[in-house]
Amino acid sequence: MRRLLILLAAAGSVAADDFESAWNSSYEVPDSPAVLLTNASVLDGDGGHHSNVDILLRDGAIAAFGQNLSVTVEVAVIDVTGRWVTPGLIDIHSHNGTYTLPLTDQGLADLAELSSPNVADTWVEHAINVQDLGFRQALAGGVTTMQIMPGSSSIFGGRTAVVKPVRTTTVAAMKFPDAPQGLKMACGENPKGYFGERGVAPTSRQGEVAMMRNAWLDAQAYLQSVQAGDNAKRDLKLETLAEVLAGNIRVHIHCYRADDIAIMLSIAEEFDFSIAAIHHAAQAYKIPDLLVRANTCAAVWPDWGGFKVALQDGIPENAAFLDAAGACVAMHSDSPVVGQRLNIEAAKAMSAGRRAGINMSRANAIKWITSNPAKALGLEDRIGRIAVGYNADVVVWSGDPFSIYSKVDQVFIDGALRLDRMNCDLNQLADSVLGPEAQVACHE
């Protein structure tokens, strides 16, 4: 469906061209030489595990992939014998840039706008601090794409942003070109607890659901008015929700309990929109059939059990049980520290599944941090796989990526080498963390 702003422009309510130019991504793929990775052990993000294969990165994309590639162009050859290669990792739920490292004074955080339970008019990209050390740390952990989310106190928390963790001076220069925006929502304890304690509705789960349904009713009326060509005044909250109904913004909902998740899926069914992912989803293993039917992913942790009441009945086998039932599963961080170790999060979840008797393979588990989150972001045709034509977002690991002893050796984003563990010029640390250990760490 056409963007709502185009319809508003036709009605004379907004200049769509000005809107698009103001908030477009300005990220540019840097010029870089063609690279041939040879003799790699590859987890391709599509369920395959390949030995002794070559990967050609050229013009920002994966140009060829197979054994004994014959290359006719000039390339930089990197022999990765004994090492592993995966797609770039994708963190579907990050607060980098708004919940910044070092975690010294969180009074300075721009994690969420808390003036109302409905702040659908806010965009998290308007708060992202590009100087956050967490972006570099995530890159050093193999992350090449991340979705920055608002916090979870409001029912409608605002629009998300998909970015690449590269060094820039503006948010626009980090934004993933043409990536769909998301809408962050929340259910359960967070909204009713935060606002209820302040005497502001909602104070209960039923109040949350009523507020959601009324907001979607208003959005339906707003969208119908715009589609009819009425000279509607712009309403930034309703504009966001109407874009969801028009299929242009993807919904991501913070929700833990199985019964809460089921209700969120019912609301989506009532108002005819899709939920891209349920985040945290601690009890999702109880209702995999509902997630499969709705084509909704579950973005989960492998553990974190017991730190809040919503995690009651949370189990480490959650991801494995969901995966075995055919549901889409993704690991997420929700933390700038966890975001540096998504591979280990997946390893823990895989191990829990194996202990429960599920035959979990590395080739399948890597999908939880590559192709599955790419699907939830609406980018499954561009990232998340080692396949010809996909963006050349590639990580070279010193060994098995699911081993705590393995390190990220190189990270390519769009074919450009963005980090090299053995090259201090491409492994620069920020001034605030430099010290006598920095040069030693670079050459370990």
State how many domains the chain has.
2
Residues 288, 425, single domain; the answer is no
Residues 112, 259, single domain; the answer is yes
Would you give the distance in Å from CA 299 to the centre of its chain? 9
Distance CA 101, CA 134 (A): 6
Residues 77, 204, single domain; the answer is no
Distance CA 192, CA 207 (A): 8
Q: Specify the range with the lowest mean pLDDT, choosing from 124-133, 207-216, 244-253, 422-431.
A: 422-431
Confidence of residue 9 (pLDDT cuts 50, 70, 90): low
pLDDT of residue 1: 41
Percent of the chain at pLDDT exceeding 90 = 79
The residue range of the domain holding 58 is 32-87+386-444
Residues 206, 229, single domain; the answer is yes
Q: Which residues lie below 8 Å from residue 210, measured CB to CB, with a gap of 6+?
A: 202
Q: 342-371, pLDDT tens digit by residue?
A: 999 999 999 999 999 999 999 999 999 999
Residues 309, 407, single domain; the answer is no
- Per the CB < 8 A criterion, the answer to whether 319 and 329 are in contact is yes
Residues 165, 222, single domain; the answer is yes
Residues 139, 234, single domain; the answer is yes
Residues 137, 258, single domain; the answer is yes
Residue that terminates a domain, selected from 330, 363, 383: 383
Residues 346, 281, single domain; the answer is yes
Would you state the structure tokens that stand for residue 214, as one six-digit string?
């009324």
Rounded mean pLDDT, 32-40? 96
Residues 56, 123, single domain; the answer is no
Q: What CATH number is associated with residue 201? A: 3.20.20.140
Distance CA 33, CA 78 (A): 12
Q: Is the alpha carbon torsion for 103, 105, 107, 110 positive or negative?
A: negative
Residues 108, 69, single domain; the answer is no
pLDDT at 168 over 90: yes
pLDDT at 231 over 80: no
pLDDT of residue 423: 83
Residue that terminates a domain, selected from 339, 364, 383: 383
Q: Find the angle CA(357)-CA(361)-CA(366) to the nearest 5 degrees.
A: 130
Rounded mean pLDDT, 240-261? 97
Q: 56-88, pLDDT tens digit by residue?
A: 999 999 999 999 998 888 999 999 999 999 999
pLDDT: is 104 or 152 the higher one?
Answer: 152
Residues 65, 167, single domain; the answer is no
Which CA distances in Å does 301 have to 317, 320, 342, 367? 10, 11, 10, 15
Q: What CATH number is associated with residue 40? A: 2.30.40.10
Residue linked to tokens 């409001």: 154
Mean pLDDT of the chain: 91
For the chain, what percentages of helix, strand and coil (3-state, to nearest 5) are there? Answer: 35, 20, 45
Q: Which residues lie below 8 Å from residue 157, measured CB to CB, with a gap of 6+?
A: 112, 113, 119, 120, 122, 149, 150, 151, 183, 184, 185, 186
